[in-house]
């Protein structure tokens, strides 16, 4: 399993880095494809847990919400009807309007259940599912459009003059992968004390500490690429690293409820697509929030 895990990472890692470096529209296409596969896996987990979501509708609404997030993040690149929608729905915004419409559609589907308790649970869990993927995953593209004040996401920044959006996305990847790798290796070698054993027995306190150290190192490299002050990685590393761990635990909780060890089988040695993006689902909005509220970036 460990050998398979390493081989898969050796293949997928450079591919993902290449897409990050290429930027748009390739990043949005990757996020859209990942969202579809993750939604398929998520619906299967919710069904296995006994929540019986309307599968096609839940996936469809989730994809519409993902698309709304991607269009909003790429607002400077879209035109025609999409521009009209963005203008007409400001406020509340395309994403909020899509979420409201999706919840209404899912409620109508829940009305077909003869048991009100079953209908309510179905509506609540399917609404959660589309928000979990459709709202959180496009945050990665938001990170890819972060810009210095007065500039754009394509403005050169940092030590090597990399585009701002690319530098921020690489920082996200370095912190999350750094955390995951540090936590995994430290946990295997030194792990003794369980972190949250009723959700994920394999997670340890030692792994958490090792992950945060590696996340901070990754944040330090990212800060140099972006051109941030020296204190920023000392906050970004632990903050985004903890968010990544929380995202992993959230998905583990869902898998435990469904009685599954993995969300799928598409990524050899790593499980499913949802297993690989769970950390990013929490880490991306946290990094974007830090950039916008603390680091003085704009999107």
- Rounded to an integer, the average pLDDT of 118-136 is 96
Contacts of 287-293 spanning 24+ positions with Cβ under 8 A? 287/143, 287/168, 287/171, 287/172, 287/175, 287/236, 287/240, 287/243, 288/139, 288/142, 288/143, 288/146, 290/235, 290/236, 290/239, 290/240, 291/143, 291/146, 291/168, 292/146
Digit-coded pLDDT (tens) for 202-230? 899 999 999 999 999 999 999 999 999 99
Mean pLDDT of 141-165: 96
What's the whole-number mean pLDDT along residues 153-178? 97
Q: At residue 29, does pLDDT exceed 90?
A: yes
DSSP conformation class of 111: T
Mean pLDDT of 175-197: 94
Helix 273-293 × helix 26-48 angle, to 10°? 120
Domain ranges of the chain: 1-23+148-299, 27-143
Determine what percent of the chain is predicted with pLDDT higher than 90: 83
* Angle, CA of 155, 15 and 255, to the nearest 5°: 105
What average pLDDT does range 265-277 have in this prediction?
Answer: 87
Higher pLDDT, 81 or 208: 208
Q: Which helix (H) or strand (E) holds 156?
A: strand 156-157
pLDDT confidence of residue 275: 94
Contact of 236 with 221, CB cutoff 8 Å: no
pLDDT at 269 over 80: no
Yes or no: say if 210 and 186 are a contact pair by the CB < 8 Å rule: yes
Give the mean model confidence (pLDDT) for residues 68-95: 89
Identify the three-state secondary structure at position 201.
strand
User: DSSP states of 74-95 as a string?
Assistant: TTTT--THHHHHHHHTTTT-HH
Question: Is residue 2 scored above 80 in pLDDT?
Answer: no
pLDDT confidence of residue 74:
94
pLDDT of residue 270: 77
Q: What pLDDT does 80 receive?
A: 87
Report the predicted TM-score, pTM, of the whole model to 2 decimal places. Answer: 0.94
Which band of pLDDT confidence, cut at 50, 70 and 90, is reported for residue 79?
Answer: confident
């Amino acid at each position: 399993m460990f050998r398979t895990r390493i081989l898969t990472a050796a293949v997928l890692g450079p591919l993902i880095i290449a897409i990050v470096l290429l930027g748009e529209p390739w990043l949005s296409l990757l996020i859209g494809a990942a969202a579809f596969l993750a939604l398929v896996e998520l619906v299967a987990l919710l069904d296995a847990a006994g929540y019986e979501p309307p599968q096609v509708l839940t996936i469809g609404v989730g994809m519409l919400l993902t698309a709304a997030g991607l269009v909003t993040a790429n607002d400077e690149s879209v035109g025609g009807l999409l521009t009209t929608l963005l203008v007409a729905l400001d406020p509340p915004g395309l994403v909020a309007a899509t979420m409201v419409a999706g919840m209404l559609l899912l409620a109508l589907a829940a009305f077909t259940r003869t048991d009100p308790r079953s209908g309510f649970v179905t509506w609540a869990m399917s609404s959660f599912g589309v928000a979990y993927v459709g709202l959180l995953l496009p945050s990665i593209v938001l990170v890819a459009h972060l810009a210095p004040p007065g500039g754009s996401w394509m403005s050169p920044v940092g030590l090597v003059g990399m585009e701002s959006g690319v530098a921020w996305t690489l920082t996200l990847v370095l912190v999350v992968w750094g955390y995951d790798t540090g936590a995994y290796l430290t946990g295997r070698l030194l792990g003794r004390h369980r972190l949250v054993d009723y959700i994920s027995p394999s997670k340890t306190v030692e792994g958490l500490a090792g992950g945060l150290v590696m996340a901070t190192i990754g944040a330090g490299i990212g800060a140099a690429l972006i051109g941030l002050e020296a204190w920023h990685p000392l906050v970004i590393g632990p903050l985004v690293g903890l968010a990544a761990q929380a995202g992993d635990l959230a998905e583990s909780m869902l898998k435990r409820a469904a009685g599954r060890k993995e969300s799928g089988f598409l990524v050899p040695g790593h499980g499913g697509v949802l297993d690989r993006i769970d950390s990013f689902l929490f880490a991306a909005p946290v990094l974007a929030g830090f950039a916008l509220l603390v680091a003085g970036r704009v999107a």
